[in-house]
Amino acid sequence: MRIDARGLRFDVTTGGPEHGEPVLLLHGFPQHSGEWDGVVPALHAAGLRSYALDQRGYSPQARPTRVEAYRLGELVADALAVLDALGVATAHVVGHDWGAIVGWALAAAHPDRVRTLTAVSVPHPAAMADALANDPQQRARSAYMLLFRQSVAERTLLALGAAGLRRLLRGVGDAARVAAYADPMREPGALTAALNWYRAMSRAELAATGPVSVPVTFVWSDGDAAIGRAAAQACAAHVTGDYRFVELPGFTHWIPDEAPAPLAEAILARVRPAG
């Protein structure tokens, strides 16, 4: 399905019962809506309707060229506009990596549109900003962002048949799964658009993200090379509603690909709480 919103055209993969409660799924870098393929069957079986969005820069017809077009506020506005175009007043929101950041910001600024939030791998933006400022270990984990913000990033990641990008993605599964994410990034302009999320990122903007009042589950793995425990555990201080921290031991950053069943279980426990 293609959705026209804000002068752009977004690709959205839908599934599940037509009248089921809506779930908006937001992917991370350098992936696309296909990262939810292993998760959505359980959601559909539970009666939920899924909308997996290829976000700004990832949908080929939603690829502005200016770095400023990828500021966090623009990404949140996209999600709202897509929900509006779908006729969805409120949705359960699930986001991984950058999709989690968008989900956090969406829930903080527009709690009237978010029924619940399940954030995967990346904590609340303000917790992340604080860790980047004050935790040397988190700064070391996030050092890759310095490369991503530089003009040499595309050449570095795409050299030798995108060997660098493939190494980055090696945790998602077999070679076919890696290629499913790496190959679209080799299309003209695609990787630049995806990297522009990092280039437009402002620590001040992350830090200014307000507390989240809707029910939240944060899912993190102790094998995540990008997000340390300090940042993950700091997340709770930025949630004023019901909060659950779900740790999945032994997995890496790529939880939707590596652990779709436990992730689906955590989502459903949040969406369908006991009692």
Count of structural domains, the chain: 1
- Asked whether the beta carbons of 58 and 52 are under 8 A apart, the reply is no
Closest of 192, 187, 212, 182 to residue 70, by C-alpha: 192
Whole-prediction pTM: 0.96
CA pair distance 101, 139, nearest whole angstrom: 18
pLDDT, tens digit (0-9, with 9 covering 90-100), for 41-52: 999 999 999 999
- What are the respective helix, strand and coil percentages of the chain, to the nearest 5? 50, 20, 35
State the CB neighbour count (10 A cutoff) for residue 68: 10
Q: How much is the pLDDT for 272?
A: 84
State percent of the chain over pLDDT 70: 99
Q: Which domain holds residue 96?
A: 2-271
Residues 6 or more apart in contact with residue 107 via CB below 8 angstroms: 93, 114, 117, 212, 213, 214, 216
Q: Give the separation between CA 62 and CA 229, rounded to whole angstroms.
A: 35
Rounded to whole angstroms, the Cα distance separating 25 from 53 reads 6
What CATH number should be reported for the domain holding residue 77? 3.40.50.1820
Q: Summarize pLDDT for 77-131 with one digit per residue, the tens.
A: 999 999 999 999 999 999 999 999 999 999 999 999 999 999 999 999 999 999 9
What's the pLDDT tens digit per position in 147-179? 999 999 999 999 989 999 999 999 999 999 999
Residues 6+ apart with CB under 8 A from 45: none
